[in-house]
Structure 1
């Protein structure tokens, strides 16, 4: 202290200032306040990757919003019909499907249909060559010849009998032979007809080929043979289906059974055609419960004139719970007020369904409790308030920014 007093006033002031800075630095390093790196993770995530954090939200410049494809939608309660939404699979209409097989074994001579071909009713799909058909046609030719001989003999006997030139028993014998020849001819024609060949095709020569024709107009959805392969009645060679109407098959949980009835209106959506809906009607609800899956099969019939609905495609079906009734919204089913967001607005953050809400100039992640899905939207049971603006498109871009920011902070 004596040395301090002997120093000039200016030097004493500089030394005191240096001592104060040293004490302040030591105090900061000893753990008074938490460093900025220990701030909550949500705030750090919202501040990275091109945006900056202000009030807990992701702030983006207008050009970044446009580049990310972000679109907002104001949440308002709307009248939503009471519905049931289930995942489903498109099937061909089993009532309009033909598994085509020959009536008799034969070898494929020619094929006139390929997979995906649209065919008309009665159109020839294939021509088969069969030994059995050849034998039947030969029998028919013999029967035709025998019938002509018997008929000529009977006509001659009839004329002679009228002149009383021949005994009565000769006339009766000729008539009997004629009747037997006619019976044999009809039997030969019927046998050939049963094999799928018209007797008119047999004209004094043996015919061994016969056509396979389409029973109705439709599309060839299966082809199991090639030219030269052997076809038999036990295995179909082609499958033709009328796809102008398709079935949407779904499995209903036990809790849904009280809401779904035959005749209920339904709306079908597919990932293949985003933004489009296909109207249908429930035509079947099974009477038995599957003991393994604890579900009941239901079927929705949908028009498919343009053929865009392909069998085995996955779909989502929304079924009105009150068939024929109309609520405030004008849709089938009892309407009720609810809030909903587009399906694309919802992302998973740490396993929790989340949407981004635009407030205070930033995009804030908000956990929600989702409800039923219908026509590309999801009902929100809790987590949002009417009037808030939600990111309807571009949520995944915001999620990517948050994840990128978190990864950068960990390093």
Structure 2
């Protein structure tokens, strides 16, 4: 057996405060070195540890809205091809979908003509043409460029169009990712016509997520901005920081939402997941503590084993206080 109850009882880890009680008569347990090794027993000292009072609250993982981007066309278009799909992780500037638009085709053609006109006039110089004609040609070129940018084309795409010439003025263009992230929604079909402003993709950066803890108003009043927090999920405690406490009580649940920002670079948390939040209130204090796994129940009495030397382990009853971090 890798770990016996005794082995767990002596495992080194941070735990709750304990108060020793009067010892009771008990026969010590004797183990030789091999038995101690086989049982996986680890010795740890009961010593003062820095413990912080915490408030518990249920919470829900939500995407960090400050790192979430909605991707939508800025002009009436038709979907020609899909470049990214649900669940993909894309980089900023990556093509997401190929669209086609009559308005874009008209503006592409206008830019090519305006660029050629401008290049001809610029080669002559302002001395060879009137100032008005010179400025008109430049403004027409710049306006056509600005219009394509307003439709969502990048400078690189506009430069590629000018290199292709009239053959590239077919109205098709790639909608690019404005930021990196994971594709969490992509509700459209190839061939579908889409209106300006309709969300085609949602991109979420998962390096950071929010946990919204629902707290009783009296408890929420005790929570301070920037307070340390822990999110318990999958037998793991993930550190976080309180970034906002709502000033409005939810009318349905009569609770106050408290938003906690959590580093999620290990990808342990996902939007929609239910978790338990622990929020620190006040400064840490020194209390006598032992590992939680060091406490076992013998005859309905919380007990730890004291190492007496020479393989002798003597049970000692204790009174258990609050538990912190295992």
- Determine which of 8, 14, 18 is the counterpart of 1:77: 18
Q: Is the 2:220–2:258 Cα contact (8 Å) retained in structure 1?
A: no
Match runs of 1:327-406 below 5 Å: 327-329=285-287, 358-359=298-299, 387=318
Structure 1 position 291 matched with structure 2 position 232: no
Alignment match, 1:202: 161
1:146/1:280 Cα in 2 relative to 1: closer, same or farther (>3 Å)?
same
Q: Structure 1 residues 158, 267: CA separation in 2 closer, same or farther (over 3 Å shift)? A: closer
Q: Is 1:186 matched up with 2:142? A: yes
Structure ranking higher on relative contact order (CA contacts 8 Å, 6+ apart): 2
Q: CA RMSD in A?
A: 3.4
Post-superposition offset of 1:294: 2.3
CA radius of gyration, larger in: 1
Q: Which residue of 2 aligns with 1:237?
A: 200
What does 1:141-290 correspond to in 2, within 5 Å?
141-148=112-119, 150=121, 158=127, 174-197=130-153, 198=155, 199-203=158-162, 204-205=165-166, 206-270=169-233, 273-274=234-235, 276-290=236-250
> Aligned partners of 2:292, 2:103: CA distance in 1, in Å?
67
1:92 CA displacement: 0.7
Please give the per-residue CA displacement for 1:67-119, whole angstroms capped at 9, x wherever unaligned. xx999969972775321000100011110000110111211222221111111
Confirm or deny: 8 A CA contact 1:104 1:130 kept in the other structure.
yes
- What SS does the corresponding residue of 1:328 show, helix, strand or coil? strand
Alignment of 1:297-336 (within 5 A): 297-322=257-282, 325-329=283-287
**Structure 2: which 5+ runs fail to align?**
11-15, 20-48, 302-315, 321-326
Asked if 1:105 corresponds to 2:36, the answer is no
Secondary structure of the structure 1 residue equivalent to 2:230: strand
After alignment, is 201-210 or 305-314 more displaced?
A: 201-210
CA shift in 2, pair 1:179/1:326, >3 Å: same
**Counterparts in 2 of 1:14-93, with a 5 A limit?**
77=18, 81-93=52-64
What secondary structure, in the 3-state scheme, does the structure 1 residue paired with 2:286 have?
coil
Identify, as 1 or 2, the structure richer in helix. 1
Aligned to 1:129: 100
Distance 1:302 1:76 in 2: 27
Which secondary structure state, in structure 1, belongs to the residue aligned with residue 69 of structure 2?
Answer: strand
Q: What CA distance in whole angstroms lies between the structure 2 residues aligned with 1:298 and 1:76?
A: 28
| Contact 1:103-1:196 at 8 Å conserved across structures | yes
Runs of 5+ consecutive residues of structure 1 not aligned to the other structure:
1-65, 160-170, 330-336, 346-355, 366-384, 390-411
Structure 2 partner of 1:393: none
- Once residues 264 and 128 of structure 1 are traced to their aligned partners in structure 2, the CA distance between those partners, rounded to angstroms, is 47
In structure 1, distance between residues paired with 2:243 and 2:122: 59
The verdict on how the C-alpha distance between 1:388 and 1:289 changes in structure 2, with shifts beyond 3 A counting, is closer
After superposition, the Cα gap between the structure-2 partners of 1:213 and 1:269, relative to the gap in structure 1 and judged at 3 Å, is same
Distance in structure 2 (CA, Å) of the matches to 1:189 and 1:76: 69
